[in-house]
């Protein structure tokens, strides 16, 4: 039985309020044990059992003791209860409920700030606690933030386990139970794994549901009662007249103890956290004890797939139940057929299903979103107006079963994802789950936010207590490798990035045993930073190799350790499929093995990628070791070579096709500019299809999610959109033959807006993107139409930002010497020159739009707050100052830019080869923008750039990037606005665009039309959340 429908009236009696659980069971003619705890001071499996009548007597005596302490009968006043969930705790909880209190159940693990916040938010001024000095100290420290907080000692068994007093009246309140059942019974709280815990109220009428298995006479639980699932499953089991055996609150959880209980109690159902499953799985007797249960039901955190698969293969009937304090039970795998092995795929509970939406977030992953129509959804949980006001976006991520309808596997949380510095997102939980199965591992936590590659922190189990770090890393490496085998390339952990800690190391966890990720990162921040410092700059190697021996060593590194198919020392790294992550990993391996003469710091992060092949890399390494001058890379020569290599095209051959409605190929549709271009395209009646070429799997869901996030949901289901996974560097764009043939037959326009915006990458890292540009140009020349498809390329002003200052840039090609020095600008310069050759030499209808600063849209003001300029504004929240920059702002809203692009794409005549695109309306940063920000409510003092930079440096030393992310771009700001920054501005002529685009001529005046307020309002809503 696994319905969660309320069971108010049945053969079990009538349940209306929480106290009915006790009073109804106390009036049963046949008294049976409904709750059991280990006897104090006895063995872990020496249980004492209590009937409903026992508990009713205990509760009546206890509440009378509380009345003597000054507590009085109330109507739904909040009182807090903190402590281990033993018999005293249970009796107190029901005593308080009988008195009319709504009880805030505080985990004894909470820190003082979390306790204080929960007390203030709920308006609670009293806390009941056991006589535990550490807990009393913690609550006392929290009391400093809660005026007049009253601490009440918990009534203990010697006080409430008293015989009945003849003729003494039982305490009772005169209430209307049908009204009372609508009120809050208890207040649980979220785990606080992503911030301060939040209170979640639960009413009486949501408390009892028929979720327990009727077969058998008893169950065993390892969950504490202040955990939502712990109290629900305990009270449900008691309600159906089965005995709930509770794990000891004074003894640690061990395999020996769990086995002893399971063998003695023989429960029909074992309710376990995954850590208990891990302990038992390491012992044959443990597995056998679990297999003897009708069911082993886990909840609270994720069970590693390899562990679950092993247990089911050994005959354990393993099931999961997924839920949360905010929304109750969501789904379970209990109801699957007996021959269905998919223990880790839940089915959404039928009563919940109409009130939940699975929101696609890309790569065949979905977030569960709960609608306010769900009766069990706590009103305090609402965090979104999408799709309707009062919705709750859970941040829980699922993936559907490939063949079983409506079966979902939980794979982690959105806020668990680790974003590397290159923008790739690592999902840590599957990696951690596999590694934690290893008997030598107590805990594993993947890290790497804003870093080049991920690492993993591993805490030894007791079995590995005496191993050295080197021995331990070798011992667990096989488990890490197995985890890597199921992870994407950028998520894989190298051996050098394993950070071991001793057995017994303490780390932040929730009551469910789940790591509190942010706090783990904070606690071990120094060790993590030191590991990256060693990996990136410390040479540990002793090998002194040169010539052919050095090349042989490097070949082995690339082919055996990194698995790259490099055929010879002259083979190109890029052609072999090397990516920037593997380049960084290779550098770390080289420093691990090779002696560099103390000059490792001279090897840049991209030294491998930039070298191009083993032969050149070997020469560079040899020169560095000997302390010689590095031969300067001829980057400008490489740029010229790239232009020459990618400017060879097959000219267009006019075909018999006829023009009707337009078919557009669009890249970058999941980005800001591309998304708005798509919206503008679909607003036209003359568009037949838009082929959206995207990276990664699940292109439909990725595109739809991106559009929704940008406020463009109205077009996300347009049938003219054809989203395809594509690799532009492939001649066929990695499309199947029929699709590629269809593009050649029908494409009339190509808009190429996709390009990696990463200013840390050097020019060689953009080789693949330049090749993709060539292939799209060739597609434009290969269409079977009377003329080539029109090709529009979104370039950047960075191609000219290396020009002497002040200067004015014409709408023409610029010299190679004027290009900005980074790889991004250089790659755009190469792209422009390839397009020029395609147009002039091969007749391509190709055009370049050189775009300046883009800002948020007119409707929502959505402007990416991780960009450099928004981060400057955000710094005012903590620093209370903003710099007075000598800068003119010709900013264009992204939706205006999208319309400009379409004006030029569908220009009736042939457009110009090159357009500079910026707003015709400029304003001063200092004279105009800063006063506008202040008038919109941003509080700050205007200071010189040097003062602002000095304070930002101080903030960076405090490592408060979470509160002030601008510190991450300190070096960029120093280059742009520091004392050595270039003086004077570079302006761009826009006469051609003004002539050919109505949208550019009618571009909004941002300061006059309220845009600054829109941007700031959208940011503050997010920043201050």
Tens of pLDDT, residue by residue over 957-995, are 665 566 788 887 777 788 788 887 778 889 999 999 999
pLDDT for 63 equals 94
What is the pLDDT averaged over residues 116-144? 90
- Mapped onto helix, strand or coil, the DSSP state of residue 59 is helix
- Please tell me the distance from the alpha carbon of residue 562 to that of residue 580, in angstroms, as a whole number: 12
| CB-CB contact of 287 with 281 (8 Å) | yes
pLDDT for 210 equals 46
Residues, the chain: 1025
Supply 488's token pair. Answer: 């994407």
539-629 has the same fold as 417-536: no
- Please tell me the distance from the alpha carbon of residue 805 to that of residue 373, in angstroms, as a whole number: 61
pLDDT for 847 equals 98
**DSSP 8-state secondary structure symbol assigned to residue 560:** I
Cα–Cα nearest to 846, from 884, 793, 917: 793
Integer Rg of the chain from CA: 33
Tens of pLDDT, residue by residue over 550-580, are 999 999 988 888 888 888 888 877 667 676 5
pLDDT over 90 percentage in the chain:
51
- Please tell me the distance from the alpha carbon of residue 1004 to that of residue 774, in angstroms, as a whole number: 35
In this model, does residue 1 exceed pLDDT 50?
A: no
Cα–Cα nearest to 189, from 128, 107, 112, 116: 107
pLDDT for 201 equals 85
**DSSP 8-state secondary structure symbol assigned to residue 762:** -
Query: How many other C-beta atoms can be found within 10 angstroms of the C-beta atom of residue 491?
Result: 23
pLDDT for 850 equals 97
Angle at which helices 635-645 and 823-842 pack, to 10 degrees? Answer: 30
- Please tell me the distance from the alpha carbon of residue 110 to that of residue 151, in angstroms, as a whole number: 16
Cα–Cα nearest to 755, from 796, 715, 713: 796
Most confident of 1-5, 183-187, 424-428: 183-187
pTM > 0.75: no
pLDDT for 921 equals 94
Supply 823's token pair. Answer: 């790889």
| CB-CB contact of 884 with 942 (8 Å) | yes
In this model, does residue 922 exceed pLDDT 60?
A: yes
In this model, does residue 1025 exceed pLDDT 60?
A: no
In this model, does residue 3 exceed pLDDT 50?
A: no
Give the strand pairing for 365-370 and 392-400: antiparallel
| CB-CB contact of 1004 with 858 (8 Å) | yes
| CB-CB contact of 751 with 792 (8 Å) | yes
Listed by start position, the domains of the chain span 417-536, 539-629, 866-898+919-1025
pLDDT for 412 equals 79
Burial of residue 64 (CB within 10 Å: 0-12, 13-18, 19+) is middle
What is the pLDDT averaged over residues 729-733? 93
Look-up: residue for tokens 């009378």? 64
- Please tell me the distance from the alpha carbon of residue 825 to that of residue 557, in angstroms, as a whole number: 32
- Please tell me the distance from the alpha carbon of residue 87 to that of residue 40, in angstroms, as a whole number: 10
Q: Longest C-alpha distance within the chain, in Å?
A: 109
- Mapped onto helix, strand or coil, the DSSP state of residue 565 is coil
Tens of pLDDT, residue by residue over 614-623, are 998 998 898 8
| CB-CB contact of 465 with 503 (8 Å) | yes
Cα–Cα nearest to 442, from 494, 503, 391, 493: 503
What is the DSSP annotation of 635-703?
HHHHHHHHHHHT---PPP---S----SEEEEEE-TTSHHHHHHHHHHHT-TTEEEEEEEESSS-HHHHH
In this model, does residue 57 exceed pLDDT 50?
A: yes
In this model, does residue 142 exceed pLDDT 90?
A: no
In this model, does residue 446 exceed pLDDT 50?
A: yes
In this model, does residue 934 exceed pLDDT 90?
A: yes
Mean pLDDT taken over the chain = 88
Residues 6+ apart with CB under 8 A from 244: 34, 35, 36, 218, 219, 220, 221, 233, 234, 237, 238
Cα–Cα distances in Å, from 702 out to 428, 719, 724?
Answer: 20, 16, 11
pLDDT for 5 equals 45
Higher pLDDT, 190 or 530: 530
- Please tell me the distance from the alpha carbon of residue 245 to that of residue 681, in angstroms, as a whole number: 64
Cα–Cα distances in Å, from 197 out to 121, 188, 251, 300, 394?
Answer: 11, 10, 27, 16, 15
- Please tell me the distance from the alpha carbon of residue 672 to that of residue 425, in angstroms, as a whole number: 19
**How many CA within 13 A on the CB side of residue 522?**
14
What is the pLDDT averaged over residues 52-71? 94
Supply 699's token pair. Answer: 């292109």
Higher pLDDT, 557 or 900: 900
Cα–Cα distances in Å, from 281 out to 4, 321, 513, 658?
Answer: 30, 20, 17, 68
**How many CA within 13 A on the CB side of residue 913?**
16
SS (H, E, C) 604-649: CCCHHHHHCCHHHHHHHHHHHHCCCCCCCCCHHHHHHHHHHHCCCC
| CB-CB contact of 474 with 500 (8 Å) | no
Supply 392's token pair. Answer: 């709750």
In this model, does residue 208 exceed pLDDT 70?
A: no
Most confident of 233-242, 593-602, 704-713, 786-795: 786-795
Q: pLDDT band for 586, please (50, 70, 90 cuts).
A: confident
| CB-CB contact of 762 with 639 (8 Å) | no
CATH T-level assignment (fold) for domain 539-629:
1.10.1200
Residues 6+ apart with CB under 8 A from 930: 882, 884, 940, 942
What CATH class is the domain 417-536?
Answer: alpha beta
- Please tell me the distance from the alpha carbon of residue 127 to that of residue 187, in angstroms, as a whole number: 13
Cα–Cα nearest to 202, from 218, 217, 188, 220: 188
b/e burial code for range 635-670 (CB count within 10 A of at least 16 → b) = beebbeebbeebbebeebeeeeeeeeebbbbbbbbb
Burial of residue 963 (CB within 10 Å: 0-12, 13-18, 19+) is middle
Cα–Cα nearest to 456, from 437, 421, 429: 429
């Amino acid at each position: 039985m696994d319905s969660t429908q309320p069971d108010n009236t049945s053969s079990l009696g009538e349940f209306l309020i929480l106290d009915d659980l006790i009073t109804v069971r106390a009036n049963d003619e046949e008294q049976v044990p409904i709750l059991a705890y280990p006897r104090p001071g006895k063995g872990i499996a020496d249980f004492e059992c209590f009937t409903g009548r026992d508990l009713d007597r205990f509760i009546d005596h206890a509440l009378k003791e509380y009345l003597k302490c000054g507590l009085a009968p109330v109507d739904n006043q909040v009182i807090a209860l903190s402590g281990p969930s033993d018999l005293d705790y249970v009796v107190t909880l029901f005593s308080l409920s009988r008195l009319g209190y709504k009880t805030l159940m505080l985990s004894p693990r909470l820190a003082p700030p979390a306790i204080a916040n929960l007390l203030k938010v709920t308006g609670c001024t009293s806390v009941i606690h056991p006589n535990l000095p550490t807990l009393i100290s913690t609550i006392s420290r929290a009391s400093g933030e809660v005026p007049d907080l009253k601490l009440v000692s918990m009534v203990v068994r010697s006080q409430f386990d008293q015989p009945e007093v003849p003729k003494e009246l039982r305490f009772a309140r005169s209430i209307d139970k049908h009204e009372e059942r609508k009120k809050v019974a208890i207040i649980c709280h979220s785990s606080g794994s992503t911030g301060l815990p939040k209170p979640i109220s639960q009413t009486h009428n949501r408390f009892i549901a028929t979720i327990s298995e009727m077969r058998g006479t008893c169950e065993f639980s390892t969950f504490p009662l202040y955990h939502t699932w712990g109290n629900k499953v305990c009270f449900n089991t008691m309600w159906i007249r089965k005995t709930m055996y509770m794990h000891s609150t004074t003894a640690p959880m061990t395999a020996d103890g769990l086995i002893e209980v399971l063998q003695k109690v023989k429960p029909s159902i074992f309710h376990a956290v995954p850590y208990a499953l891990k302990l038992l799985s390491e012992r044959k007797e443990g597995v056998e004890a679990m297999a003897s249960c009708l069911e082993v039901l886990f909840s609270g955190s994720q069970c590693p797939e390899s562990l679950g698969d092993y247990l089911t293969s050994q005959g354990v009937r393993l099931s999961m139940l997924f839920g949360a304090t905010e929304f109750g039970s969501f789904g379970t795998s209990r109801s699957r057929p007996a021959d269905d092995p998919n223990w880790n795929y839940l089915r959404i509970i039928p009563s919940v299903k109409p009130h939940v939406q699975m929101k696609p977030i890309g790569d065949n992953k979905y977030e569960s979103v709960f609608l306010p129509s769900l009766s069990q959804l706590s009103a305090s949980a609402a965090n979104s107006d999408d799709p309707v006001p009062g919705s709750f976006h859970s941040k829980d991520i699922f993936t559907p079963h490939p063949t079983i309808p409506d079966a979902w596997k939980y794979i982690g949380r959105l806020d668990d994802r680790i974003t590397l510095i290159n923008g790739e997102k690592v999902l840590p939980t599957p990696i951690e789950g596999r590694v934690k199965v290893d008997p030598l591992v107590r805990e594993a936590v993947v890290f790497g936010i804003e870093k080049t590659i991920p690492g993993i922190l591993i805490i030894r189990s007791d079995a590995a207590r005496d191993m050295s770090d080197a021995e331990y890393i070798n011992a667990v490496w096989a488990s890490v490798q197995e985890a890597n085998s199921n992870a994407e390339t950028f998520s894989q952990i190298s051996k050098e990035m394993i950070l071991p800690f001793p057995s017994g190391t303490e780390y932040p966890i929730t009551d469910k045993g789940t790591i509190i990720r942010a706090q783990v990162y904070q606690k071990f921040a120094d060790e993590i930073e030191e590991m990256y410092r060693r990996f990136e700059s410390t040479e540990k190697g002793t090998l002194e190799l040169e010539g052919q021996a050095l090349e042989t060593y490097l070949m082995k590194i690339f082919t055996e350790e990194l698995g790259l198919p490099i055929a010879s020392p002259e083979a190109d790294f890029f052609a072999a499929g090397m990516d920037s992550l593997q380049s960084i990993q290779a550098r770390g391996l080289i420093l691990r093995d090779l002696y560099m003469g103390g000059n490792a710091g001279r090897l840049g992060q991209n030294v491998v990628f930039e070298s191009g092949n083993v032969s050149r890399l070997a020469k560079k390494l040899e020169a560095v070791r000997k302390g010689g001058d590095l031969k300067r890379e001829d980057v400008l020569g490489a740029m010229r070579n790239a232009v020459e290599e990618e400017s060879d095209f097959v000219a267009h051959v006019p075909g018999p096709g006829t023009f009707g409605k337009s078919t557009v190929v669009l890249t970058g549709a999941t980005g800001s500019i591309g998304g708005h271009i798509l919206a503008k395209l679909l607003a036209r009646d003359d568009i037949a299809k838009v082929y959206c070429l995207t990276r990664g799997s699940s292109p439909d869901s990725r595109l739809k999610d991106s559009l929704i996030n940008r406020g463009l949901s109205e077009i996300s289901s347009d049938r003219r959109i054809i989203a395809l996974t594509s690799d532009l560097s492939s001649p066929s764009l990695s499309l199947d033959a029929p699709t590629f043939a269809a593009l050649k037959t029908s494409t009339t326009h190509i808009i190429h807006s996709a390009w990696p915006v990463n200013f840390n990458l050097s020019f060689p890292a953009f080789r693949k993107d330049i090749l993709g540009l060539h292939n799209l140009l060739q597609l434009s020349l290969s269409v079977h139409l009377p003329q080539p498809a029109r090709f529009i390329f979104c370039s950047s002003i960075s191609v000219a930002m290396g020009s002497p200052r002040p200067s004015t840039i014409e709408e023409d090609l610029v010299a190679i010497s004027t290009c900005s020095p980074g790889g991004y600008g250089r790659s755009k310069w190469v792209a422009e020159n390839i397009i020029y050759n395609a147009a002039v030499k091969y007749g391509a209808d190709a055009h370049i739009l050189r775009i300046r600063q883009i800002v948020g849209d007119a409707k929502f003001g959505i402007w990416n707050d991780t960009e450099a300029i928004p981060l400057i504004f955000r710094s005012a929240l903590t620093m209370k100052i903003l710099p007075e920059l000598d800068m003119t702002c010709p900013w264009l809203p992204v939706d205006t830019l999208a319309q400009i692009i379409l004006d030029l794409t569908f220009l009736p005549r042939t457009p110009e080869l090159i357009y500079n695109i910026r707003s015709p309306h400029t304003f001063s940063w200092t004279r105009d923008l800063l006063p506008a920000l202040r008038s919109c409510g941003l509080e700050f003092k205007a200071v010189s750039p040097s003062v602002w930079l000095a304070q930002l440096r101080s903030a960076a030393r405090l490592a408060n990037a979470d509160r002030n992310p601008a510190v991450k771009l300190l070096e960029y700001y120093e280059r742009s606005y520091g004392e050595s920054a270039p003086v004077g501005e570079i302006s761009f002529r826009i006469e051609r665009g003004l002539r050919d685009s109505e949208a550019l001529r009618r571009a909004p005046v941002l300061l006059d039309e309220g845009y600054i307020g829109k941007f700031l309002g959208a940011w503050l809503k997010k920043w201050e959340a």
